């Protein structure tokens, strides 16, 4: 039997007339790392804050470790929040920052100190216990913020965009560090981010939100392989999936891709003739092909090379982005042949933008 540490059922949240969360159903397994991801304003912070008790939900049920929590004040929910702003006490040392929450709960000084040392050893802060926050780097401050959450031994950790203040290299490092810590502590973690790479690399369950709705949730690669609609398809993956309007050929075995100069590609799955479609294909799923194997022949617009990869933008309407993992000797203005595995095509209804098949 799966044990759910957090169960949200039919959660709605209104700010006045504004419907910020719409019928949210989400079950979080004990020990899971769940990422809430979506564009700014989609409601992910509101959902996290509702979990923490910092927002009152308008309707629905919120259960943590088997107990109904609607209306229970934040400090009685036994959850720990980690923010991007760290929220450390500047006039306290690292050790005092760590022990503060224990001391106000009446734990004696020696025991609090022992716990601080134990947690500091886990998070690599042992040598910094006597320092003040201003004497720490961004990454170290972030570690103090996490240690302060860990020391309380909460039922779950709630992370609100904790890495957005850090530079790119440190972000990648802290991503791994937080995930490793999660694995060591076997904690339940809910992590809010607008960065799909962060969500995909850290979480074992990704929840994609838009306009207060959960559009799709599942294992990261399931979302990448089978996005339920155009929004999720375009949001997960970088660079984003390409979309081309299309219709099925009258023979039922081909698709007409409606570029400014239309092209026909073979396609075996049954599609209704004449149905307006949207074909999706990821930039990384193209390969260069010679005349004999080319499925598409497209004019090249821009070529950008990072050393490891080449990014090609086609001079078509709509344009395609193609990523080649080598230094292709391709120039703007030439026509290139491309092929791809047809199983990598994603098909959506052009009107509803919902996945077909
Ligand atoms: P996200 O974290 O995904 O960027 P939020 O959860 O912060 O989004 O906000 C979701 C929506 O709710 C936004 O449109 C935001 O403007 C609105 N909102 C958030 N907090 C309040 C508030 N206190 N009063 C009114 N509207 C709010």
- Which protein residue has the closest C-alpha to ligand 1 atom 5? 43
Calpha distance 99→101 (Å, rounded): 6
Summarised one tens digit per residue, pLDDT across range 1-19 is 567 999 999 999 999 999 9
**Which atom from ligand 1 is nearest to the alpha carbon of 49?**
6
Q: Which of 24, 41, 56 to mutate to test the pocket of ligand 1 (most atoms within 8 A of CB)?
A: 41
- Which protein residue has the closest C-alpha to ligand 1 atom 12? 20
Q: Ligand 1 — pocket residues by CB below 6 A? A: 15, 18, 20, 38, 40-46
DSSP 265: E
Say if residue 149 is exposed, middle or buried (CB neighbours under 10 Å; 0-12, 13-18, 19+). buried
DSSP 3-state of 66: coil
Which of 299, 277, 295, 273 has the alpha carbon at shortest distance from 286? 295
Calpha distance 315→22 (Å, rounded): 41
**Which atom from ligand 1 is nearest to the alpha carbon of 40?**
4
Contact 36, 192 (CB under 8 A): yes
Summarised one tens digit per residue, pLDDT across range 230-241 is 999 999 999 999
- What spacing in Å lies between the alpha carbon of 43 and ligand 1's midpoint? 6
DSSP 3-state of 161: coil
Residue 251 clears pLDDT 80, i.e. is over it: no
- Residue carrying the six token digits 């959660």: 11
Summarised one tens digit per residue, pLDDT across range 87-119 is 899 999 999 999 998 898 899 999 999 999 999
DSSP 105: T
Residue 85 clears pLDDT 70, i.e. is over it: no
Determine the average pLDDT of the residues in 318-345. Answer: 92
Domain range list for the chain: 4-235, 242-349
For 4-235, CATH gives: 3.40.50.300
Q: Report in angstroms the alpha-carbon separations of 143 from 124, 125, 222, 228, 275.
A: 8, 8, 31, 37, 54
What is the bridge-based pairing of β-strands 296-305 and 335-339?
antiparallel
| Measured distance between the N- and C-terminal CA atoms of the chain, rounded to whole angstroms | 31
- What spacing in Å lies between the alpha carbon of 34 and ligand 1's midpoint? 20
pLDDT at 2: 64
Q: To the nearest whole percent, how much of the chain has pLDDT over 70? A: 98
**Which atom from ligand 1 is nearest to the alpha carbon of 209?**
3
Pair of tokens at residue 147? 């240690």
Contacts of 116 (CB under 8 A, 6+ apart): 95, 98, 99, 129, 147, 151
- What spacing in Å lies between the alpha carbon of 45 and ligand 1's midpoint? 7
pLDDT at 1: 58
pTM value is: 0.92
- What spacing in Å lies between the alpha carbon of 354 and ligand 1's midpoint? 26
């Amino acid at each position: 039997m799966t044990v759910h540490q957090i169960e949200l059922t039919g959660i709605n949240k209104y700010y006045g007339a504004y419907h910020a969360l719409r019928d949210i159903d989400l079950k979080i397994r004990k020990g899971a790392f769940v990422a809430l991801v979506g564009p700014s304003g989609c409601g992910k912070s509101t959902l996290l804050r509702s979990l923490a008790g910092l927002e009152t939900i308008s309707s629905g049920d919120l259960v943590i470790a088997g107990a109904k929590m609607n209306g229970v004040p934040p400090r009685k929910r036994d959850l720990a929040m980690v923010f991007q702003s760290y929220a450390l006490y500047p006039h306290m040392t690292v050790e005092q920052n760590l022990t503060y929450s224990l001391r106000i709960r009446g734990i004696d000084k020696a025991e609090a100190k022992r716990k601080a040392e134990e947690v500091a050893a886990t998070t690599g802060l042992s040598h910094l216990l006597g320092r003040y926050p201003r004497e720490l780097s961004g990454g170290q401050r972030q570690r103090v913020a996490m240690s302060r959450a860990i020391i309380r031994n909460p039922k779950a950790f709630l992370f609100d965009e904790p890495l957005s203040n850090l530079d790119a290299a440190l972000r990648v490092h802290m991503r791994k560090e937080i995930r490793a810590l999660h694995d060591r502590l076997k904690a339940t973690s809910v992590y809010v981010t607008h960065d799909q790479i962060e969500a995909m690399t850290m979480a074992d369950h990704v929840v994609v939100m838009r306009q207060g709705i959960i559009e799709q949730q599942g294992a990261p690669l399931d979302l990448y392989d089978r996005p339920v609609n155009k929004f999720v398809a375009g949001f997960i993956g970088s660079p984003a999936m390409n979309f081309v309007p299309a219709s099925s050929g009258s023979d039922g075995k081909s698709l007409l891709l409606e570029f400014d100069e239309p092209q026909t590609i073979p396609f075996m799955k049954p599609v209704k003739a004449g149905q307006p479609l949207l074909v999706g294909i990821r930039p990384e799923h193209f390969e260069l092909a010679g005349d004999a194997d080319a499925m598409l022949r497209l004019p090249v617009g821009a070529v950008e090379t990072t050393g490891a990869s080449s990014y090609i933008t086609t001079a078509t309407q709509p344009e395609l982005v193609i990523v080649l993992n080598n230094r292709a000797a391709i120039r703007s203005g030439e026509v290139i042949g491309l092929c791809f595995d047809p199983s990598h095509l994603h098909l959506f209804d052009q009107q509803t933008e919902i996945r077909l098949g």
